[in-house]
């Protein structure tokens, strides 16, 4: 009774937030539900089959892949959070949408994973990767790995992990069921020392071993070594779907692994369509830079809230892919990134106050963008605003 009332009020709050233009209403709706019934997560997940997806990079796209796969394979509707709202409130909203759907796929913030695993009793948890991200909030990578290791001590859930990542191997160390996928091994940029005992980790050609016993394990599934981040995540999603009893249609599996879409959006600004990638930490910047094709690139960097307030990590990234291109820097911390690419050897560097001004400077050829979290959100919100106005209110 309390739960259905909570959901009703939550729907209303979400609707108010949406029509008043204060976002998509996902978080407010979930907060309202949880405020009225604190046990809503437990109740809403009861009797359903859940998969949680967590890791530093690729949660939102992998969750979307998995939903597509499960829907294609079962013909059922799958409950999910569509906009990457991955803490308690967003998860409550996702569960409350289609409460009779048997299947649920949820992305989950790394720090919320222990409590969500406890409350939601998932059947499968996909752990994509762990790397440096927002050091002021999550702290050291090893701390997240430790937190997870203390969580996964039961055998009523199956973990699907990329076994090439030593932090995930360590996190899964006490888990009952682990399905390990390997992509041939690759050196982890943040794992010079052992996540378990802190001694220097002995890296061979992509595999690792420590005297304490932590080392690359035998994998049940082997993926192609050449796959990039999003495609590797698609392989993990296929294995998770299999564990949920779904046979993924071969065409879909091929489409997602061979042509895995990045978190990329085409923003229509000033008459230009700018393919923009979200890059929120060193690893996702490296992925984004590896794909840049245009001769002119806009880099937008803020250091607000979720971006992390320290921009030092910009110096951990190799920008040589930008040498010979025109680079226009914008965002609150445009000078930090402009100087960084200058020192890297990019000759043509400019700064502008706004993204629109950057486009105006870009000239007529194709332009691509890379944006930090809040910069990307701003662009996305501007797009929504524009669409709402174009659609016109009665």
Partner 1 sequence: MTLTIVRLYHDLLGTYGDQGNAEVLVHRAKAREIPVELVEVTPGMTVPTSGDIYLLGGGEDGPQTAALELLRADGGLNSAVTSGAALFTVCAGFQLIGSSLPGADGETISGLGIVDVHTVYTSAPRSVGELVCQPTRSHLPLLTGFENHQGLTELGPEMQPLGMVKRGIGNGFAGAEGVWHGNIIGTYMHGPALVRNPELADVLLASAVGDLVEFHDPYADALASERRKTLWPHS
The contacts of residue 160 (CB under 8 Å, 6+ apart) are 124, 125, 126, 127, 178, 179, 181, 236, 239, 240, 243
Of 81-89, 191-199, 285-293, 366-374, the window that binds partner 1 (rule: CB under 8 A) is 191-199
Interface positions, 194-213, toward Zn ion (CB under 5 A): 194, 196-197, 210, 212
Of the residues 200, 212, 323, 386, which one makes contact with partner 1 according to CB under 8 A: 200
Looking at 28-36, 116-124, 306-314, 368-376, which segment touches partner 1 (CB under 8 A)?
A: 306-314
**Residue 182: contacted member of Zn ion, partner 1, none (CB under 5 to 8 Å, by partner type):** none
Pairwise CA distance, residues 152 & 144, whole Å = 12
If one counts every other C-beta atom within 10 angstroms of the C-beta of residue 125, the result is 26
Do 132 and 313 meet the contact criterion of CB atoms below 8 Å apart? yes
Identify which range of 89-97, 161-169, 186-194, 325-333 contacts Zn ion by CB under 5 A.
186-194
Dihedral over Cα of 82, 86, 92, 93: its sign: negative
Are β-strands 348-351 and 326-330 bridged in parallel, bridged antiparallel, or unpaired? parallel
Q: How far is the CB of 204 from partner 1 (least distance, A)?
A: 14
H helix and E strand count, the chain: 15, 15
Sheet holding 124-127, edge to edge: 78-80, 103-107, 49-54, 124-127, 158-162, 177-182, 221-222
**Cα→Cα distances 218→149, 177, 179, 241, Å:** 19, 14, 10, 21
Candidates 77-85, 115-123, 192-200, 289-297; binding stretch for Zn ion (CB under 5 A):
192-200
The only residue of 46, 100, 136, 226 in contact with partner 1, by rule CB under 8 A? 136
Q: Say how many residues make up the chain.
A: 394
Query: Smallest distance, Å, CB 132 to Zn ion?
Result: 20
- Select 92 or 214, whichever has its Cβ closest to Zn ion: 214
Least CB distance to partner 1 at residue 332 (A): 9
Nearest residue (CB) to partner 1, 263 versus 340: 340
Assess 181 for contact with Zn ion (CB under 5 A).
no
List of residues contacting partner 1 (CB under 8 A): 132, 135-136, 140-142, 190, 192-194, 198-200, 309-316, 335-336, 338-340, 342-343, 349
């Amino acid at each position: 009774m309390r739960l259905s009332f909570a959901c009703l009020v939550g729907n209303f709050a979400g609707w108010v937030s949406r029509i008043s233009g204060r976002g998509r209403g996902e978080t407010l709706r979930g907060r309202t539900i949880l405020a009225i019934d604190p046990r809503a997560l437990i109740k809403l997940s009861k009797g359903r089959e859940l998969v949680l997806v967590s890791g530093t990079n690729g949660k939102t796209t992998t969750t979307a892949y998995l939903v597509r796969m499960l829907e294609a394979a079962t013909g059922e509707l799958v409950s999910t959070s569509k906009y990457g709202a991955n803490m308690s409130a967003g998860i409550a909203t996702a569960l409350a949408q289609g409460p009779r759907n048997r299947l649920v796929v949820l992305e989950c913030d790394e720090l919320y994973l222990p409590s969500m695993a406890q409350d939601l009793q998932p059947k499968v948890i996909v752990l994509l990767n762990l790397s440096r991200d927002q050091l002021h909030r999550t702290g050291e990578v090893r701390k997240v790995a430790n937190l997870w290791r203390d969580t996964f001590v039961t055998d009523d859930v199956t973990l699907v992990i990329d076994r090439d990542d030593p932090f995930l191997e360590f996190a899964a160390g006490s888990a009952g069921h682990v399905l390990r996928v390997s992509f041939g091994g690759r050196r982890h940029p943040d794992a010079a020392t052992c996540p378990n005992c802190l001694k220097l980790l002995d890296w061979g050609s992509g595999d690792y071993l420590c005297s304490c016993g932590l080392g690359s394990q035998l994998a049940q599934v082997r993926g192609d070594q050449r796959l990039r981040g999003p495609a590797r995540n698609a392989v993990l999603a296929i294995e998770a779907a299999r564990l949920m009893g779904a046979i993924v249609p071969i065409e879909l599996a091929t489409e997602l692994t061979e042509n895995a879409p990045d978190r990329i959006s085409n923003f229509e600004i000033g008459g230009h369509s700018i393919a923009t990638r979200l890059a929120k930490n060193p690893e996702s910047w490296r992925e984004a830079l590896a794909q840049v094709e245009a001769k002119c690139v806009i880099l937008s960097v803020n250091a607000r809230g979720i971006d992390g307030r320290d921009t030092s990590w910009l110096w951990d990234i190799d920008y040589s892919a930008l040498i010979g291109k025109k680079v226009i820097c914008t965002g609150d911390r445009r000078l930090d990134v402009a100087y960084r690419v200058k020192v890297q050897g990019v000759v043509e560097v400019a700064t502008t106050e706004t993204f629109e001004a950057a486009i105006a400077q870009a000239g007529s050829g194709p332009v691509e963008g890379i944006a930090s979290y809040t910069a990307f959100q701003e662009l996305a919100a501007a797009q929504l605003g524009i669409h709402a106005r174009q659609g016109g209110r009665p």
